[in-house]
Structure 1
Amino acid sequence: MSSLNFDRKVKRRKSSVWDTYAPPFDQMVKRFFGRNFSWAWLACIPLALVIVATWNTAAHAQDEALTPENVQFALDNVWVLIAAILVIFMNAGFGMLETGFCRQKNAVNILSKNLIVFALATLAFWAIGFGLMFNEATPFIGLGNFFLSGYSTDGPEFGNLTMPVFFLFQAAFAGTAATIVSGAVAERIKFTDFIIFSILLTAIAYPITGHWVWTSVGWLGGLGFSDFAGSTVVHSVGGWAALCGAAILGPRIGKYQDGQINAIPGHNMSIATLGCLILWIGWFGFNPGSQLAADAAVPYIAVTTNLAAAAGGVSATLTAWIMSGKPDLSMIINGILAGLVGVTAGCAGVGFLGAVIIGLVAGVLVVFAVGFFDSIKIDDPVGAISVHLVNGIWGTLAVGLFNTETGLFYGGGIGQLISQIIGIVAVGLFTVVFSAIVWTILKSASGLRVSAEEELKGLDIGEHGMEAYSGFLKDTSDMGGVA
């Protein structure tokens, strides 16, 4: 007999002996659960009972928490959080757009500015700006809640939104205002001076004017001024600051010579187009997110936003085509953005036809505005002033014309239009004075502008010591002194 067979027989014999002489309880358990029963399984029974009891208790508590109010609270906060992420992603769009519209020797500088500006805006707005903007101590400025102090982090603090969600959404808006400035002063400003201005804009100037409009005690809001998502509060503020910066900084070398306007083409229209599309998508967080709730108005606002963008792109294309004989891609891009800026103030209160008209007018305005600023030698490499300032003003005025309840064209009288004009002038004056003072101080202290040699060589090398396209052929064109 082999040892293997012997072992098997011994095992069977032992099992048989155990079955014969096992205690009665064990025999009963084995008959009930089967011969393969293990005592380890029996130990799981109390654990299973605990799990079932706990699950039942949790389910009961969950049933109690699922009230309509709690569900709406969760939906509102999740939607606005998603909208905030979309707005933050717009920084990628601004970076691509500005980089593509400018020369390759300045690509690293432009990308650096667009990336760092949101980091700076977040910190400046957290420390000072949010308190100045949303503390309701006075009609003109907030005087507390700095560093987000004094707020709960889990319950509703701003309508139905928690403080973290509301702050993130508003910080994204603050970053947008500063990013607008970057395009208008591109290719010749010192990196450190741009950083300083961005901090002051997002910590002080933008929050103060935002307080006037977007708080229950703000004096402009009390006059009836309406700016739903920021044609004035965000875009015109950024546009006014950009205009002052471009004027004080001066044009790029070779842009205006011998009474001529010399075009300085961008180096990559592919990424500029990608930037435009990213911004278009991000605007569905910018405008619908400003509803600050997940309700039926959100898709309506998305449609008016999209209609205006489409109309702006079409009208800018046709206008540029008629004027130059060719459909200009840069004007298609800026036309779409102009339509988006134009409808931002009134997207929740205008009809679909009104949104289309606003976009059509914005597309025409941006083409003529680019030519106008060139004619007065304001060098804006990406058209930021034409898109954000000019159409921020137009979009704010359009509320007084096309709002379906208070607009002049809908029987609402002239009152809304007057309120809009007052708001445009007040915000514009404050931002221009603030920006002019800061830009002038920076120019006196550090010169504000890079040297002529550094500008000709490119800010990538002079400011950052690196190239965006290392190993590729450099731009060696010389057009009126432009390298």
Structure 2
Amino acid sequence: MLDQGNTAFVLIMAALVLFMTPGLAFFYGGLVKAKSVISMMMMSFGAIALVGVLWVLYGYAIAFANHGAGTNVSGIVGFFSIDWNQFGLGQAFEESQASKINAAYPSMAFVGFQATFAIITVALISGAIADRAKFGAWMIFAGVWVTVVYFPVASWVFNLTSGMFATWGVIDFAGGTAVHINAGAAGLALALVLGKRVGFAKGAHKPHNPPFVLLGAAILWFGWFGFNAGSEGAADGVASLAWVNTLSAPAAAVLGWLLIEKLKDGKATSVGAASGAVAGLVAITPACAALTPGWGLLLGFLAGVICCFAIDWKYRLGFDDSLDVVGVHLVGGIFGTLYLGIFANGTGLIFSGSFEQLGKQATAAAAVGIYSFIMAFVIGYIIEKTIGFRVKTEDEVAGIDTAVHGEEGYVLYEEADRTPVTVR
């Protein structure tokens, strides 16, 4: 019979992960200038709408094509294929409506959970092109990229019956490769396509609303318990380990980030604390169920230190990753993925004496990073050269909320209130 406890667990975890994308909107929105906050937040909400629809139509059919007997599958099995029986979630619906299901949870619960991963992965990319992207061009990019990059990569990582990484023995419990390396590499590609913001220099673009940043980080951290613990698909000991590591690793990362920030700049900032938490969450994502809490703490602390240094690379290398998608998600995702090659329970170097697991982790990280970067660059370049991806310079300087969306993030008085009052 259907396990109603695990069904409830998966559905609640899915809701937590979906809540992460509005949290990301606040996190990113607080980091941009005041006249771009609507644009920044809309890119996250646009991802929810577009990817939610595409996932139902064909995303799940690509990411979780059932390659068993009797299916109607087209494409290259294990790389890019689609199960036409799942188009529009037809088969998943039938399975979930069965009167008696001998499973931990209905297929549709898993469909919903995985949809939220696709949504936030796309939304993460938007931080790399903040303050200068057209909303329509972003939506086109998001639709194409999620189709040709995220959906097949999710199949490599999460489809345990036929995905490439599953057969290779790669450890990625909750998406260090499929989500963070994937989004970080795409963000780097788009940053190169769109070019630098006007006046790009260290210290030139300051967050307009640090409380928004802290609020967004808090929501992200809260939702991340669903992201990591929920990936077990059951309320059991593995989920409990993932939950504890999702608490402790980001906490250690905050300390690591603030320590380096204090040593480098003389002050520990609220934005640094929020960024450190996210860096720790990114790094622990692939590793949350494969590390003891002690090794999880070390991972978090080191991730905070490394990512704090990594966000300055854009100034040295000359690319404008507006909100440090590369420095936090790409670097943090790579570090967390490779860390497993050394410290993963049972198979890591310190337990097995073998570099085999490290080789598998490095291969997976490189495969996703290179594929995502190339595809994102091509898609973004075509959009830029046809309809244009970047807003006009004058709109960028003035702030793009009014030009793109016809709205302002902060209206302190109504037009009628501008009438001067005569004092007699």
**TM-score normalised by the chain length of structure 1:** 0.80
Moved more, 200-209 or 355-364: 200-209
* Aligned residues of 2:186 and 2:372 also touching (Cα < 8 A): yes
| 2:320 paired residue number | 379
Q: CA RMSD in A?
A: 1.7
Please say if 1:153 is aligned against 2:96: yes
Please say if 1:233 is aligned against 2:178: yes
Distance 2:238 2:164 in 1: 26
Alignment-mate amino acid for residue 365 of structure 1: I
CA deviation vs aligned residue, 1:405-424 (integer Å, no higher than 9, x gap): 11112235211111101111
Selected match of 1:368 from 304, 309, 324: 309
Q: Secondary structure at the match of 1:192?
A: helix
Selected match of 2:192 from 236, 241, 247: 247
| 2:284 paired residue number | 343
| 2:145 paired residue number | 201
Distance 1:79 1:181 in 2: 29
CA deviation vs aligned residue, 1:11-30 (integer Å, no higher than 9, x gap): xxxxxxxxxxxxxxxxxxxx
* Aligned residues of 2:137 and 2:388 also touching (Cα < 8 A): no
Please say if 1:165 is aligned against 2:109: yes
| Distance 1:94-1:158 versus aligned 2 partners, 3 A rule | farther
> Equivalent pairs: percent with the same residue?
32
**How do 1:250-261 and structure 2 match up within 5 A?**
250-256=195-201, 261=202
Once the two structures are TM-superposed, the CA of residue 390 in structure 1 deviates from its matched residue by: 0.6
Please say if 1:82 is aligned against 2:12: yes
| 2:370 paired residue number | 429
**How do 1:123-202 and structure 2 match up within 5 A?**
123-137=53-67, 138-144=77-83, 145-151=86-92, 152-155=95-98, 160-202=104-146
| 2:35 paired residue number | 105
| Distance 1:472-1:362 versus aligned 2 partners, 3 A rule | farther
Aligned length: 399
* Aligned residues of 2:228 and 2:246 also touching (Cα < 8 A): yes
CA deviation vs aligned residue, 1:332-356 (integer Å, no higher than 9, x gap): 2111111111011011010111101
Alignment-mate amino acid for residue 172 of structure 1: T
Distance 2:333 2:43 in 1: 23
| Distance 1:157-1:118 versus aligned 2 partners, 3 A rule | farther
Distance 2:252 2:241 in 1: 17
Moved more, 143-152 or 113-122: 143-152
Q: Secondary structure at the match of 1:337?
A: helix
Gaps of 5+ in 2: 68-76, 415-424
Distance 1:139 1:471 in 2: 54
Once the two structures are TM-superposed, the CA of residue 368 in structure 1 deviates from its matched residue by: 1.0
Gaps of 5+ in 1: 1-68, 474-483
CA deviation vs aligned residue, 1:378-432 (integer Å, no higher than 9, x gap): 2223222211111001111111111111111223521111110111111112111
Please say if 1:212 is aligned against 2:142: no
Once the two structures are TM-superposed, the CA of residue 133 in structure 1 deviates from its matched residue by: 0.8
| 1:403 paired residue number | 344
| 1:469 paired residue number | 410
Distance 2:372 2:299 in 1: 25
Q: Secondary structure at the match of 2:311?
A: helix
The structure whose Rg is larger is 1
| 1:316 paired residue number | 257
Distance 2:333 2:258 in 1: 20
* Aligned residues of 1:129 and 1:204 also touching (Cα < 8 A): no
**TM-score normalised by the chain length of structure 2:** 0.91
| 1:41 paired residue number | none
Distance 2:234 2:399 in 1: 46
